[in-house]
Structure 1
Amino acid sequence: MSARVRRSLLADGVTAEAAEELVSIMLAHLATAGRDGARREPPGALEQTRARMVTDRVHGAPFDQHSLGDLAAAVHLSPYHFLRAFTRAVGVTPHRYVAAVRAERLRRLLARDGATVASVAELAGIDPRHVRRLHRQELGIRRRP
């Protein structure tokens, strides 16, 4: 069945990557659904589509304010439940995930030719000291006493 769906998507002009993603989502849904259509996820699990909604939101605007309450509200969960479910699904807390995405974006911006900390900070809309602090935290560099 998945091969037929994949061929149909490719015939309709969908890219191979998008077709693979759609087929994997379909297979995940089928694997977690019972005969009656009821979901068979363990209690507290954050389904992949909800996790993807949150991670896409963070990747789309990494320097926006992403509070736990806002992210939880985006997937219609309480903040405490969302924190546990996101950590279980992704492997890190939402705060660490947002910090890692921001650090990676900063690293890419800093790797450009002629990029300075000040220019990257202005582009990201944050304070230059924050850029340095995020960079140090992600690299594990401690300040001298």
Structure 2
Amino acid sequence: MAKQTSQFRFFKSRHVPELTVLQAAMSDFRYDPHAHEEYAFGVTLAGRQDFFSSGQYHRSPPGNVIQFNPGEVHDGQSGGGSALGYVMTYVSPAQLEAAFADATGHESNESFRSRDTLIPDPVLRDAILELARLVTQHVGSRIDQEYALYRIATRLVQRDGQFNPGAVVGRSDALLKRAREYVLAHLEEDMSLDDLSQAAHLSKYHFLRLFRQQFGMTPHQYVINCRINAARHALETGEQPSAVAMRYGFADLSHFNRRFKRIYAMTPYQYQRAVTP
């Protein structure tokens, strides 16, 4: 029996419904023509990705983005004589409708379709790879993954020439203050963009844009910052770094160490030794 050299691994998001990531290494496999119900966003990592879609034959080199709209028929195989490596994310239209609507300035945009299939765009590539990393390595929070999806949707709309975000609403200070208060009251919980935007009485992606304009960081970055500050106070009371990491939702002690050091220039353990008798 011939040895099978192609490998395929699927990862289901633990946070975002109907979000799946595929890691693939192909040399002896070819996809039949097929279509997905989801949006598919991929990045060619090694080799060359050859496929037929939308009446054209495409060749994708390493670093290139591949994007399929729902229902778009395509096949696929390794091209150029070398093994193909790629990552592909599959996202239901329902998960992206609000992001597309916000980016285009429409009340609803469930039928957004990108005009491009092959996209040489580093910004879009990095957003897709970040989303894939979060899902496949089981790191980060729900807000991490939602923000990566928002970056993908916004970049696609920008490239399509439809970017027209809604006007900034008045009294944003008071609205965003409610979200900040919600964050501080729920630091030990896994918050989502829905939770924060509902606390501010704003649509999810309108809230995200307003928050960045006002505070110079994303809601996710703000949540991490608040958790680090709360963790610092816990360390000062003598609580073990490993327990603090778990309490404030860090994936593990290593993750906590990295985040803490970026703000305080030392590990939690070093900080605790410096400030406690």
Cα distance between partner residues in 2 of 1:123 and 1:55: 20
* Structure that is richer in helix per residue: 1
1:106, 1:131 within 8 Å by CA — same for their partners in 2?
no
Matched, 1:97 2:97: no
Alignment of 1:44-123 (within 5 A): 44-45=168-169, 47-112=172-237, 114-123=238-247
Q: 1:84 to 1:140 in 2, by over 3 A?
A: farther
Aligned to 2:258: 133
* TM-score, length of structure 2 as denominator length: 0.31
Task: Structure 2: give runs of 5+ residues left out of the alignment.
Answer: 1-166, 267-277
Cα distance between partner residues in 1 of 2:185 and 2:256: 19
* TM-score, length of structure 1 as denominator length: 0.55
1:51, 1:90 within 8 Å by CA — same for their partners in 2?
no
**Alignment RMSD:** 2.4
Question: Which deviations, in whole Å up to 9, do the C-alpha atoms of 1:48-72 show, x marking residues without a partner?
Answer: 2211110001111213122222211
Number of paired residues? 98
* Structure that is richer in strand per residue: 2
SS at match of 1:65: coil
Cα distance between partner residues in 2 of 1:125 and 1:69: 18
The one-letter code sitting in structure 2 at the alignment partner of 1:138 is I
* Post-superposition offset of 1:123: 4.4
Higher deviation after alignment, 89-98 or 123-132? 123-132
* Post-superposition offset of 1:96: 1.0
* Post-superposition offset of 1:94: 0.8
* Post-superposition offset of 1:97: 0.7
* Post-superposition offset of 1:90: 2.5
Task: Structure 1: give runs of 5+ residues left out of the alignment.
Answer: 1-42
